[in-house]
Structure 1
């Protein structure tokens, strides 16, 4: 089914063509028409399945003709997201697709970790407001944003917001919104918490569940090395140098470990930067931009930040240590092997992690080659 059959305007179809979008993904195919018809939607699909465009395109269509154009702080669409990186990513998608529209649409992203005053000033004339819950409540508390004009509420990555403890903030925000509105709830997983929000938030929703495609793992070459904890740092540097890696995303389980790995890499003349919740927004944005452009060889991240890292042809992902859950493991390695480009996912597994790695493999339904390595043998 082509995009032209989904009821999108010629201006949006032209932008899709210019951006090399050839055909809708499954969730786009099902969600776009439902949202155009002002239906509530529950969309369950994995990260990277095209969820953002599935609501951005029809919401831009619905805004055309309904924007009054007054210079106020009354947003028409509110999109709530869990992280600063995702807020910027969603804002960029709205801006990209709205450029050719006959009626301008102003999109603003607000989030913590940066000065609130420029964000306050930027809200003048806003149509689409993309926000993290905490900063939005700060702005609402200072009367810097008004909700009476909200036509549509989007909860994007709702599972992540709940996992990060945003439920109380979400309840407070929802209580401030007009009762009559369209609601769109998007999540990578369907948990009991998501079901509870669905019952409260959604009215006769169109339910879209896109099963995760296990075949996507076929593009990822997985390999694991049994390495003692004290040898993980040197072995990581060996892998980067031996394989002449030019762009590698390394995952570590905590902020402290991320910083320690980066410091060791830099002391050994390997260009690396950290991205985690303790870094300033400016530092995070710069590190991610340099990594995506290929200027930075190694980016070391926590699981939280992974939601904002989407690179079509990322060649290498390395697990410095294993994540707590098999789902997080699959999410980590899924940063590579995208857009029909194969990639390598390498895990450094200590003996104490072997049982957990067996659990991950069982949940994943795949066996990973496990090699015991000693640096003295290299």
Structure 2
């Protein structure tokens, strides 16, 4: 099925062709026609399934001929949990809106940077992509008004609830007009999310896209039994021995991410940490360098992985395991995308072994294990 069969206009079809989109993903086939008809949506789909374009494209079309409003009264609000995801979603609006007859102005706002430039940039904005805390600050400063919102999008709603945004989101809901289109996208459907569904959605079209098992099958997984003190040498060994040029390393905390990146740099491996305690400028620069391939190793946490979307990332390393099996699958799913193979390595200490068995059972795939004692890690 081509995109033209979904009801999109020639200008958006042209933008899709320029971005090398040949045919719609499953969620796009179902969501785009429903959103064009102004239906509410509950979309359950994993990151990397094409869900951002599934709402961006029809929203841009629905705004054509419907953008006139008072200044600072935005028409579309997209709420996201992280700064990186806000910037990424706004970029999708910008790229696909380039050829539209009626120009749409979009803006991403988030904390961690000065609020004044964002307040000034809100002039004439139609689509606002925001993290909840910064949005509330802007509303309280009268820099933006939500009384004319036509469409509300909650992206990564599962993460937003888990991260403790529920109270802020309810405060935002109270500011919105009751009559609006609501689009909720999530990787999972938890009990908390069911409650939110009742609060926000009206007779929604429910779209549930099962995670493609082939994605995991494209990923070559290896686990290494290793003691805590030998994780550093093992990491350097794998990067050097396998001549890795672009590696995403996951840790469980900001402190550990900094520590791992520092040790890599001291051993001659170009690395940078990206986490919530870094300045926005530092995070943006690190991610930009990593995507361009000029930064060899990016060390990050689960939270910030939501903004890392690289089609052909070859290597992922779990320096520390995540608590959730779903987060493990999300991590390794950063590689093995777009039908390209990838490698995922996991470091398993004696304390991790039981948890890793649970992860493998939930994943439905057993990982080949190697004892790092058999590797020559001296002088690495």
Tell me the TM-score normalized by structure 1.
Answer: 0.98
Q: Is the 8 Å Cα contact of residues 235 and 375 (structure 1) preserved in structure 2?
A: no
Rounded Cα–Cα distance in structure 2 between residues aligned with 1:23 and 1:132: 31
Alpha-carbon offset, residue 68 of structure 1: 1.2
Tell me which residue corresponds to 2:167.
168
What SS class does the counterpart of residue 374 from structure 1 fall into? helix
1:360 and 2:368 equivalent?
no
Rounded Cα–Cα distance in structure 2 between residues aligned with 1:281 and 1:211: 34
Alpha-carbon offset, residue 376 of structure 1: 6.5
Structure 1 unpaired stretches of 5+:
none
Tell me which residue corresponds to 1:19.
19
Aligned residues: 377
Divergent runs of 4+, >6 A: none
Rounded Cα–Cα distance in structure 2 between residues aligned with 1:341 and 1:376: 29
Tell me which residue corresponds to 1:33.
33
RMSD between aligned residues = 0.9
Tell me which residue corresponds to 1:256.
255
Rounded Cα–Cα distance in structure 2 between residues aligned with 1:376 and 1:286: 35
- Superposition pairs of residues 49-128 of structure 1, within 5 angstroms: 49-68=49-68, 72-128=71-127
What SS class does the counterpart of residue 154 from structure 1 fall into? strand
- Superposition pairs of residues 341-352 of structure 1, within 5 angstroms: 341-352=340-351
Alpha-carbon offset, residue 375 of structure 1: 6.9
Rounded Cα–Cα distance in structure 1 between residues aligned with 2:375 and 2:234: 11
- Superposition pairs of residues 246-285 of structure 1, within 5 angstroms: 246-285=245-284
Alpha-carbon offset, residue 69 of structure 1: 6.2
Rounded Cα–Cα distance in structure 2 between residues aligned with 1:263 and 1:20: 38
Deviation per residue, 1:13-71 (Å, 9 max, x gap): 1111111111110100000010000111100001100010000000000000011165x
1:152 and 2:142 equivalent?
no
Distance 1:181 1:69, change over 3 A: closer
Alpha-carbon offset, residue 121 of structure 1: 0.2
Alpha-carbon offset, residue 377 of structure 1: 3.8
Rounded Cα–Cα distance in structure 2 between residues aligned with 1:262 and 1:170: 35
Rounded Cα–Cα distance in structure 1 between residues aligned with 2:318 and 2:286: 19
Deviation per residue, 1:199-225 (Å, 9 max, x gap): 111111111011111121111000001
Q: Is the 8 Å Cα contact of residues 106 and 125 (structure 1) preserved in structure 2?
A: yes
What SS class does the counterpart of residue 273 from structure 1 fall into? strand
Tell me which residue corresponds to 2:221.
222
Alpha-carbon offset, residue 374 of structure 1: 1.9
Deviation per residue, 1:216-256 (Å, 9 max, x gap): 11110000010100000011011111111100000000111
Distance 1:376 1:31, change over 3 A: closer
Rounded Cα–Cα distance in structure 1 between residues aligned with 2:220 and 2:187: 23
Rounded Cα–Cα distance in structure 2 between residues aligned with 1:281 and 1:178: 32
Rounded Cα–Cα distance in structure 2 between residues aligned with 1:188 and 1:112: 24
Rounded Cα–Cα distance in structure 2 between residues aligned with 1:355 and 1:54: 39
Rounded Cα–Cα distance in structure 2 between residues aligned with 1:36 and 1:135: 29
Deviation per residue, 1:313-355 (Å, 9 max, x gap): 1111000011111111101000000111101000111111111
Tell me which residue corresponds to 2:334.
335
Tell me which residue corresponds to 2:181.
182
Rounded Cα–Cα distance in structure 2 between residues aligned with 1:377 and 1:84: 41
Q: Is the 8 Å Cα contact of residues 222 and 368 (structure 1) preserved in structure 2?
A: yes
Tell me which residue corresponds to 1:243.
242
Q: Is the 8 Å Cα contact of residues 231 and 375 (structure 1) preserved in structure 2?
A: no
What SS class does the counterpart of residue 52 from structure 2 fall into? helix
